Amino acid sequence: MESREVIEKYLAAIETARVAFGDMSRERLLARPIAGKWSSQEVLCHLVDTDLAIALRIRAALTRDRPRLQTGPREERTTGLVVDARDATEELTLFQTIRCETARIVRAMLPNALDRQAVLVAADRRGNHSDRAPIPDRHHQPR
Is the CA virtual torsion 70, 75, 80, 84 positive or negative?
Answer: positive
Dihedral angle sign, alpha carbons of residues 58, 61, 64, 68: positive
pLDDT digits (tens, 9 = 90+) for 55-90: 988 898 888 888 888 776 655 566 667 888 999 999
Give 108-134 pLDDT, tens digit per residue: 986 777 778 788 887 655 555 455 444
pLDDT at residue 17, as a whole number: 98
Which domains are present in the chain?
Answer: 3-140 (1.20.120.450)
